[in-house]
């Protein structure tokens, strides 16, 4: 209880102290027990998989093997970091009095498009060491977070200084994202049109159209049902644009994984899943993964907008920020996988 009271009195200082303690412990471990802290922990679960991903093969350091992809330990770690990061961003947005709504989510669109697109460019061998490390998760997400926060603060400054709609936070945030998004989408486009710098198994527009067609069909049906029953508050919430975006993002991820890994239409696809949890579902029954994704997002929307609607009505910023985070968690890997299959890399 005393720790909670200290945190409530000065949350920023408390958080910095905790972070400092963690850093000191890690540094001490790296100095006095490097084989344990670096070889068996940092290398094996965090840095090694990035090196392995970049090289496209198993990586070794002092005899310790690292493979590309995620482990239960790394996923838990990244999950904790994500929760802490979302909370810190929430406190920043609240302090700056920035409205987090569908318009804000749209302003972030170039950033969560740039992430998976640039990741696919790395898959296609456009980048080389050591630059390519910055385009492999989780470093790519840290990079994008830095860009987004920078243009968010710039937009906040310009909006306060000029008090003009042209310099609003959302507009500056969106325009800043285009700086990174436009070159990356240009490179993807010229690859698809035939100017390629790496190996490809062939462009697969058929997979692209099938995935987007199924996503459009499912999301369209959800919207249609929620529109027909728009007078029912427990159903009408599902046509909220941010809710539909969350659903779309995770369906892209689930359906792309199912089609590219299980190849239900015998299209000659042979991809593999890196996430342990997803792999378990796919191995039980291929369609189970997108079905679970669909039901999970439906449940999340129910929890936020129906079950705890009254309790959360004074925390809309936090709720919408969590929704954007959930959207990114599905949309980013889903779009990356879809583009990989489409480009044949």
By C-alpha distance, which of 343, 320, 344 is closest to 86? Answer: 320
239 within domain boundaries: yes
Minimum mean pLDDT among 180-184, 211-215, 277-281: which range? 277-281
- The answer to whether the Cα torsion of 162, 166, 169, 173 is positive or negative is negative
**Would you list the DSSP string of 28-67?**
HHHHH-HIIIIIIIIIIIIIHHHHHHHHTS-EEETTEEE-
Q: Is residue 302 part of a domain?
A: yes
What is the Cα–Cα distance from 222 to 238, expressed in whole angstroms? Answer: 7
Kindly tell me if the per-residue pLDDT of 4 is higher than 70.
no
Tokens of 73: 């330990």
Contact 210, 265 (CB under 8 A): yes
Beta strands (DSSP E) in 2-158 are 59-61, 64-66
Is residue 298's pLDDT more than 80? yes
pLDDT given for residue 2 in this prediction: 64
Determine the pLDDT at residue 221: 96
pTM, rounded to two decimals? 0.86
Mean pLDDT of 44-62: 86
Nearest to 134 by CA among 288, 248, 145, 212: 145
- The residue with greater pLDDT, 68 or 335, is 335
Domain that holds residue 262: 205-343
Cα separation of 188 and 122, whole Å?
11
Q: Does residue 166 sit within a domain? A: no
241-262 vs 316-343: helix crossing angle, rounded to 10? 30
State residue 82's pLDDT score.
83
pLDDT band at 270 (very low <50, low <70, confident <90, very high): confident
Residue 237 is classified by DSSP as: G
Residue 46 belongs to some domain of the structure = no
* Range of 14-23, 214-223, 332-341 with top mean pLDDT: 214-223
pLDDT higher at 291 or 91: 291
Give the separation between CA 103 and CA 279, rounded to whole angstroms. 35
Query: What value does the mean pLDDT take over residues 333-338?
Result: 92
pLDDT tens per residue across span 184-201:
999 999 998 888 998 888
Q: How confident is the model at residue 31 (pLDDT cuts 50, 70, 90)?
A: confident
Report yes or no on 113 lying in a domain: no
Across the range 155-165, mean pLDDT stands at: 86
- Residues contacting residue 151 through CB under 8 Å, at least 6 positions apart: 172, 173, 175, 176, 177
Contact 250, 292 (CB under 8 A): no
**Tokens 């898959």 found at:** 123
Q: What is the pLDDT of residue 274?
A: 67
Going by C-alpha positions, the residue among 72, 53, 33, 15 that lies closest to residue 275 is 72
The dihedrals phi and psi of 313, each to the nearest 5 degrees, come to -65, -25
**Per-residue pLDDT reduced to its tens digit, 96-140:** 999 899 999 999 999 989 999 999 999 898 998 888 999 988 888
Position 41 in a domain: no
Contact 263, 285 (CB under 8 A): no
The reply to whether 198 falls in a domain is: no
Greater confidence, 268 or 168? 168
Candidate from 1-15, 16-30, 199-213, 215-229 with smallest mean pLDDT: 1-15
Does residue 334 contact residue 211 with C-beta atoms inside 8 Å?
no
Provide the CA 308 distance to its chain's centre, in angstroms: 25
pLDDT at res. 12: 65
Cross-strand partners of 59: 66
The answer to whether position 244 is within a domain reads yes
pLDDT reading at 69 higher than 70: yes
Write down the pLDDT at residue 3.
Answer: 61
Structural domains of the chain, count = 1
SS3 196: coil
Confidence of residue 154 (pLDDT cuts 50, 70, 90): very high
């Amino acid at each position: 209880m005393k720790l909670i009271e200290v945190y409530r009195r000065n949350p920023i200082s408390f958080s910095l102290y905790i972070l400092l303690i963690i850093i000191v412990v890690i540094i001490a471990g790296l100095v006095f027990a490097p084989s344990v802290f670096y070889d068996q922990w940092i290398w094996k679960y965090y840095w090694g998989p990035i090196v392995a991903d970049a090289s496209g093969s198993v990586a070794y350091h002092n005899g310790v093997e690292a493979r590309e992809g995620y482990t239960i330990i790394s996923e838990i770690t990244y999950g904790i970091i994500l929760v802490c990061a979302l909370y810190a961003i929430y406190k920043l947005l609240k302090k700056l009095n920035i409205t987090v709504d569908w318009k804000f989510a749209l302003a972030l669109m170039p950033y969560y498009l740039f992430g998976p697109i640039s990741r696919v460019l790395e898959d296609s061998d456009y980048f080389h060491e050591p630059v390519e490390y910055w385009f492999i998760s989780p470093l790519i997400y840290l990079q994008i977070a830095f860009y987004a926060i920078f243009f968010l603060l710039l937009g906040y400054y310009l909006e306060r200084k000029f008090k003009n709609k042209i310099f609003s936070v959302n507009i500056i945030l969106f325009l800043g994202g285009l700086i990174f998004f436009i070159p990356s989408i240009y490179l993807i486009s010229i690859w698809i049109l035939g100017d390629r710098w790496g190996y490809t198994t062939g462009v697969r527009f058929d997979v692209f159209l099938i995935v987007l067609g199924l996503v459009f069909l499912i999301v369209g049906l959800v919207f249609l049902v929620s529109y027909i029953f728009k007078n029912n508050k427990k159903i009408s919430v599902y046509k909220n644009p941010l809710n539909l975006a969350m659903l779309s993002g995770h369906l892209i991820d689930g359906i792309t994984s199912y089609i590219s890994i299980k190849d239900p239409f015998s299209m000659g696809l042979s991809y593999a899943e890196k996430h342990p949890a997803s792999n378990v579902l796919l191995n039980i029954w291929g369609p189970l993964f997108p079905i679970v994704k669909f039901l999970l997002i439906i449940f999340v929307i129910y929890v936020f907008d129906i079950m705890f609607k009254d309790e959360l009505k004074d925390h809309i910023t936090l709720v919408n920020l969590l929704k954007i985070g959930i959207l990114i968690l599905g949309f980013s890997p889903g779009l990356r996988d879809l583009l990989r299959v489409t480009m044949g890399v």
